[in-house]
Structure 1
Amino acid sequence: MNYELFIAKRIIAGKKYKSSISSPIIKIAITAIALGIIIMLIAVATGSGLQYKIRDKMAGFKGHIQIVNFDANNSDVSVIPVEKNQDFYPKFKNISGIKNVQIFGNKAGILRTETDFEGIIFKGVSTDYNWTFFKEYLIAGKLPDFNKDRTTDVLLSETIMNRLQLKLNDTILATFIKTETSKLPSNSKYAISGIYNTGFLEFDKSMMIGDIREVQRLNKWSENEVGGFEVLLNNFNEIDAKGKEIYNATASTLNSKTILEMYPSIFEWIELFDNNVWVIIGIMIIIAGINMITALLVLILERVQMIGILKALGSSDTSIRKIFLYNASYLILKGLFWGNIIGLSIIGIQHYFKIITLNPETYYVSTMPVHISVGAIIALNMGTLLLCFLMLIIPSFIITKIEPSKSIKFA
């Protein structure tokens, strides 16, 4: 029989324990543990949420990896076309983990109304395009249908629509810059079939999505010429490895780049979230540990007589320390229990009701995204329990200083 655990349970269940002098300090310690895990859960959920959401939006606009011609022009505008007939299109045969390979072509232009104008990038896509991303952020209208003959339907962002004071199904005039084969700008009219709003202003303010056959016409390309290929992966965490595999699997005249390489500043910025999260976790664990140390010392000092009696009956210092460590572990678990309930509830409320908003110009999202895995929840709880428990071992040695004769005599 584990008599240390038995005594610890009796102490916890005792009425004197609940109404003792140490009761307020114990409640403060439990509250500190609960607040600590709440803040840690929220920090991890918001940090991961921002990272996931920003990188998903980047991939939604640009794919995880782009394959284009080697070209000194690193802008978003396709200059030198690529032959569509490639060994890796429509599917890589020897590389796993790839969700989709889709063609695209870009053309710089200006949208004009009677009173305003906006510079845009006309991104042309085809029937192989994965619309999952834009379906999520489509707020009005419908997606263009590319299964019929060449269409003039386009998707525009709510940002551009508001700036140009346009409405769904309006016709908009677009002027495109001249090409090497055409000295004059091209003018075309397009019907706005759908409106999207991703909250990623860097792209929302300039991206128009339409038929790649329109881009081919504007650029004087043949049906077999495209701006490049976008590759979507099943697992973003494999982007570096898959990027190298794809680079080695494509012709020497083609260049492949991951979105990490195309937009390094954005991804370096979101990696800083991890540092902030680790700092918050460290501070919360230290605060929780200090409160638990205080609670443990009060519990020991309040039970000096009991410690003296147990020593007089032959209990070792190690056994008595176990009693109080069991007791402290119960307090930690109680704090973790309530902290998880409250913390996960807050995360759930934010996920479903989007209460906390952000400035999209700064954070690329309009509401605070949250994301947390079961593994992260378990790791936070186990790490907090273990570290707080280890922090209590040294203070528990105060029990070795208590002498039975003095503690029983002056109790």
Structure 2
Amino acid sequence: MNFEYFISKRLVTKTDHKSNISAPIIKIAVSAIAIGIIMMFVAISTGFGLQDKIREKIAAFNGHMVINNFSNNQSNVTQNPISTRQDFYPEFTAVPEIEHIQKVATKYGIIRTETDFEGIVVKGVGENYRWKYLEEYLVKGQLPVFDDKISKEVLISDYLASRLGFQVGDKLVVYFVRENQDRLPRSLGLTISGIFDSGFKEFDETYVIADLRQIQRLNNWEDHQIGQFELFVEDFSEIQEVGYKVYQEVDSFLNASTIIELYPSIFEWLKMFDFNIILIIGIMILVAGINMITALLVLILERTQMIGILKALGSSDWSIRKIFLYNAGFLIFKGLFWGNLIGISLLLIQKYLKVIPLNPETYYVSQAPIYLSLDYILVINLGTLLLCVLMLLIPSVIITKISPVKAMKFE
């Protein structure tokens, strides 16, 4: 082992010499591995980051699951209320994967100003509403405060505020159509406490967040009547299985839907990122492997005389093959080092400085999101190393075909 390692180190030293024929090919192989690692890091971190960010934005306005009346399935607003007097509320103990459940209600309205108007959906939320998502998107003001009294504070989007000319602290009037079409619309004066910008235009141009009790009062509901329940799961990857369990547990007159079922086109689009990631990883490993095979073949051809001398001295084919595999392994590690250094540095720059913007109308985010995890970094490095070494075993078979007598005459 020591002899083989010593010879492989001498081989590396020789191949690093500028006058050596194999030096440019070695540099190309190392560069290919480094570039491949960078591309794989970028593909995985941005792909997973975008998926997570979009899921978070949808969950901010819908939760991970929704429980409502069947009659409300095709509408963005509540048509028939349901009661909070359910076995699964306020704790869904029958399905332990559910970590949070909250009550909400929605109602169509129109914001009217002196010069313009805009159709909206007023979403009423209760005291147990999970604010952490919207708090992240808050750009001005503060979140509404809902205490014992019915609050007139609302949260609107930056899109609506810019379009209608509102600022934090301004008063706005929302008109609601009564069930009896012959009666005049009912108006409600509200105060803007904060402005959010989720970057998800479909939601930003639609929702205004208000006190749930305002919706109950407008609809003449009792305190226990709401529009729907929103549920959050601990692990989003299990949402389909958890959704089936929830559906089995609720009453027959209630429906349970996951956000994957509510927004199928978006999640089908997100699935394409998984295919793209796998494709990029496969191509990068293949390119790196081909370059390493080329480099190893050149090394073997350049060291034909050395191989013949080692065979003449009694070295086995496998021991000589290991010399070249050690050398190739060193080059792979060199490529991995530079790929990790440059790749992780670029991802950290984007994560904290956000230098690469995206079109929110296309990608639903304004900057390329970054997902960093030690798990996928280790898997990429170990997988690349293992696959490249396995690919190098095939060209190293050439060593067994070299005759000592002919090799020592080879020039």
Q: TM class by shorter-chain length? A: over 0.9
**TM-score normalized by the length of structure 1:** 0.96
Partner of 1:131: 131
Q: Is the 8 A contact 2:15 2:22 kept in 1?
A: no
Q: Which residue of 1 aligns with 2:366?
A: 366
Report the Cα distance in structure 1 between the residues aligned to 2:382 and 2:183, rounded to whole angstroms: 68
CA contact (8 A) 1:358 1:367 kept: yes
CA deviations 1:271-303 (Å, max 9, x no partner) are 100111111111111111111111111111111
In 1, Cα distance between equivalents of 2:302 and 2:236: 55
* Cα drift, residue 387 of structure 1: 1.5
Q: 2:6 and 2:71 mapped to 1: Cα distance?
A: 75
1:386 is paired with a residue whose SS is helix
CA distance in 2, matches of 1:144, 1:56: 21
Structure 2 segments unaligned to the other structure (5+ residues): none
Task: Tell me the amino acid that sits aligned with residue 221 of structure 2.
Answer: W
What amino acid is the match of 1:198?
S
Could you say what secondary structure the match of 1:28 adopts?
Answer: helix
Q: Distance in 2 between matches of 1:104 and 1:196?
A: 19
2:304, 2:410 within 8 Å by CA — same for their partners in 1?
no
- State the partner residue of 2:99: 99
Identical amino acids, percent of aligned pairs? 54
8 A contact 1:179–1:219 mirrored in 2: no
Residue 123 of structure 1 aligns to which amino acid in structure 2? K
How far apart are 1:372 and its partner, in Å? 3.2
SS at match of 2:71: coil
Alignment of 1:247-326 (within 5 A): 247-326=247-326
Alpha carbons 2:72, 2:79 under 8 Å: kept: no
Give 5+ residue unaligned stretches, structure 1: none
Structure 1 segments, 4+ long, off by >6 Å, are none
Q: Is the 8 A contact 1:332 1:385 kept in 2?
A: yes
- 1:67-105 deviations in Å (ceiling 9; x for gaps): 111216511100000011111111112221322110000
Q: TM-score, normalised by structure 2?
A: 0.96
Shift in Å, 1:23: 1.6
* CA distance in 2: counterparts of 1:159 and 1:324, whole angstroms: 62
Q: Deviations over 1:84-140 (max 9, x none)?
A: 111111111222132211000000111111111111110000111011001111111
How many pairs align? Answer: 410
The residue number in structure 2 matching 1:143 is 143
Shift of 1:184: 3.1
CA pair 17-188 structure 1, distance change in 2 beyond 3 A: closer
String of CA shifts for 1:322-361, please: whole Å, max 9, x gaps: 1101111111111011101111111111111111111111
Counterpart amino acid of residue 7 in structure 1: I
Change (3 A) 1:303 1:178: same
User: 2: CA distance between counterparts of 1:188 and 1:336?
Assistant: 62
1:328 corresponds in structure 2 to 328
Match for residue 49 of structure 1? 49
Q: 1:17 and 1:76 mapped to 2: Cα distance? A: 66
Q: Residue 190 of structure 2: SS of its match in structure 1? A: strand
Q: Which SS does the other structure have where 1:93 is aligned?
A: coil
Give the partner amino acid of 2:226.
V
Pair 1:225 & 2:225 matched: yes
Root-mean-square deviation (CA, aligned residues, Å) is: 1.5
Shift of 1:16: 6.3
Residues 189-208 of structure 1 aligned to structure 2 (within 5 Å)? 189-208=189-208
- Give, in whole Å, the separation in 2 of the partners of 1:17 and 1:265: 53
2: CA distance between counterparts of 1:257 and 1:149?
32
